[in-house]
Amino acid sequence: MIPYGRQNIDESDIAAVLEVLQSDFLTQGPKVPEFELAVSQLCQVNYAIAVNSATSALHLACLALGVTQGDIVWTSPISFVASANCALYCGATIDFVDVDPDTGLMSVTALAEKLQQAATVQKLPKVLIPVHLAGHSCEMAAIHALCLQYQIKIIEDASHAIGATYQGMPVGHCQFSDICVFSFHPVKIITTAEGGMALTKDPALAAQMQLHRSHGITRDPLDMTEPSHGPWYYQQIELGFNYRLTELQAALGLSQLHRLPQFLVARQQAVEHYQTLLQHLPLQLPAAAVDGVSAWHLYIIRLDDADSRLRVFEALRAAGIGVNVHYIPIHTQPYYQQLGFQWGDFPGAEVFYSKIISLPMYADLTLSMQQQVAAALAAATGAVTSQQD
């Protein structure tokens, strides 16, 4: 089976983890700050807060921006459920902005219309969470301009997009957002096994996320309510969580980060091969990122015939091709239907979902593997065509 995504672990990664295993610190040591500094330098941003998952990073970002009961948060229906769940964790109400059915990215037109309607009924969101699907940045300049009019904060869910650029700057720079979040799950561009990171230019937001990451506990005398009792003393000043990243994970992430340019080149080459191999098939290929460079976390095709998707998917799986679908629209999930959402609410997302299949995309994907994918896809779509004829 050729998987749709897979981590690339080499001897340098293993050595980095072993070094930590033989050190004095398995957690709360020097590697996490070192990893944070490296990512902040890569993204040219002031602060980076490493955590145990991108979901945790999204939750901390919402908390730092003051999301609470009575607030409204909007995100994309085409994403993993964490992009919406994070607002619910804070007691907020969630809603969605429809996507462009050709890209799966948040539609600026839909956002503008929804904001105008929300303003008339005084139900504007406190925070917007655009999602950089597949490694392509959303149109953040336009999104930011709209949010600025209504004083809405922005969290970029860039779980797919470390290494991508937008308008000449790295995604994660927070040029058009308050906080940006990365994921380091094994199928992402780089991995810490499980892990994530929140980036920001704002020292107050960074301090809040750092505090909530570790139980709401401080050892800083300036933040305490009474004089310190001694070197051992700490205070819990807020209700926080244990969202810390371990030293082992940080060492792996730091090692992986050194090879990020190599991973990005390999993914771009794989995209170029796919564009050639698949160009004559009855489907739409993903377009290049607009106004930037994609990290190409996913390679999502759209079939011309939506009715054929299940048959094509099953044929590819039977041929040993580990395809997937990204994503089932969040508003159609049973839990969200209990909140009042239903099929038909976001037609752009539903049209996009109905046609998509994610083909294998990872750094170790070889040309021969891609030729195997292309042959299986040609056979599957050809079989569907002959059946319909």
Task: Supply 382's token pair.
Answer: 């050809």
Planar angle of CA 348, 376, 349, nearest 5 degrees = 5
Question: What is the rounded distance in angstroms from the CA atom of residue 245 to the CA atom of residue 26?
Answer: 10
Nearest CA among 160, 137, 155, 168 for reference residue 290:
137
| Token duo for residue 270 | 């794989």
Alpha-carbon distance of 78 to 326, in angstroms, equals 8
Q: Take residue 201 and report the two structure tokens written for it.
A: 């230019």
Q: Are 290 and 280 in contact (CB under 8 A)?
A: no
Is 123 an annotated catalytic residue?
no
Beta strands in 224-263 (DSSP E): 235-236
Sign of the dihedral defined by the CA atoms of residues 213, 214, 217, 223, in that order: negative
Provide the pairing of β-strand 283-284 with 299-303. Answer: antiparallel
Q: Within its chain, how far is the Cα of 88 from the centroid?
A: 18
Alpha-carbon dihedral sign for residues 184, 331, 317, 370? negative
286: exposed, middle or buried (Cβ count in 10 Å: 0-12, 13-18, 19+) = buried
Amino acid residing at 109: T
Active-site residue (options: 31, 126, 153, 188): 188
Nearest-CA neighbor of 340 among 96, 81, 97?
96
Amino acid found at 84: A
Cα 147 off chain centre by: 20
Distances (CA, A) of 357 to 270, 280, 297, 302, 384: 16, 17, 14, 7, 15
Give the catalytic positions in this structure. Answer: 188
